[in-house]
Structure 1
Amino acid sequence: MKLVLFDLDNTLLAGDSDFEWAQFLISKGVLDAEVHEARNQEFYDHYKAGTLDIHAFLDFQLAPLARHSREELDAWHREFLASRIRPMIGAPARALVRRHLDEGALTAIVTATNSFVTGPIAREFGIEHLIATIPAWENGRFTGKPRGAPSFKEGKIERVEAWLESLGYWWGSFESSHFYSDSHNDLPLLSLVSDPVAVDPDDTLRQHAQAQGWPVISLRNPQ
């Protein structure tokens, strides 16, 4: 059996769901545009540069979840999925996921974006397993803080290994292990699997992939 892992943002999606969720809440008037838009862009720029303070970002990104009921959040997310996310899912991405599912691979999305935002997106792809940053939940509401290790950089390895162990597997259980990602932030996990694939990669990852002889592919629809 194969193990197939997918990054989500700018890999399966032609965009970043974390960034777009904050922009969506700004567009709904839930977040103040003047305060949050510049901060959202600042965090996104740090992510792309590889300098993101994940804990400061999570304080920013998870705080809105704590201020609203789950019913409100779920209603906004349904609109968000329809208006922002589905347009970012191209046919090549759906076909790649379907090919691996049809071949019987154990498949998961591994993303730093929190599981509230990404859970419905994983289901949109038909992927059962999601390894994401977990927003803490107490007394029927989100707390605005993460629970456990963020699924980011080396944290993705920690979270994937805990998930595999929970299923009774380890890396040696598979004939091959694949990870698809666009970002140099994912080099720790890309370097661990047997078959890393760079997908529409940033410049740093592209250079590394070319030096290592890794496949470089695109999932973007031709314009």
Structure 2
Amino acid sequence: MSDRHELLARETIFILDKGTIDQATVRTVHGDGREHVISEPVWSDRDSIAVLPYDAETRTVLLVRQMRTAIFLRDKGMILEACAGGIEASDGSVEEACRREAAEELGVTLGTLEQVAQVFINPSQMVEKANLFLASYQSGQQHPEDRQQDEDEDIEVVEVSVDDLKNWLGQGTIRCPRLLMLSQFLLSRISATSEM
């Protein structure tokens, strides 16, 4: 017998620029008759994309680095991340959102897109689903002057080799969860292709 879940209450307790924080109360009745109620805050925001552009010819990828307050508070530094952002109401599709974010943050036009996963980045506290993509791009064709960053953004574009990415993965030094997943997928794809 399977578990049954029932939403007992959901109340918005805080309104943010990017979504709301809701207090949600859910009752679970387990198949064996046990029952419990959980009430906790949940951040409700729009879904997002993350993309790792890869140039197969130069064996490079494009990453971003920017000030993140939470990371600064914890480690007094910055981390490298995959290009990512929210899906806007004006985006006609998830793929369109991916191309828009790449143009805005990286100043690059993406080639072929491949969606590799749709994941919950923080399943205990966020309803957001992140759509993860690999994409082709051409190294040297970035146009940072054409980027349209939000006024509170100061994004640095970083081009690194796939070998660097592989080393970071092996050393366990990738700190962005989206970049970690996309790096693993890209490197497994490269490995599978080279073995054929």
TM-score of Structure 1 vs Structure 2, range by shorter chain: under 0.3
- Structure of greater Rg: 2
TM-score (norm 1): 0.23
Structure number with the higher strand fraction is 2
Structure number with the higher helix fraction is 1
Instruction: Point out which structure has higher relative CO (alpha carbons under 8 A, 6+ apart).
Output: 1
TM-score (norm 2): 0.26
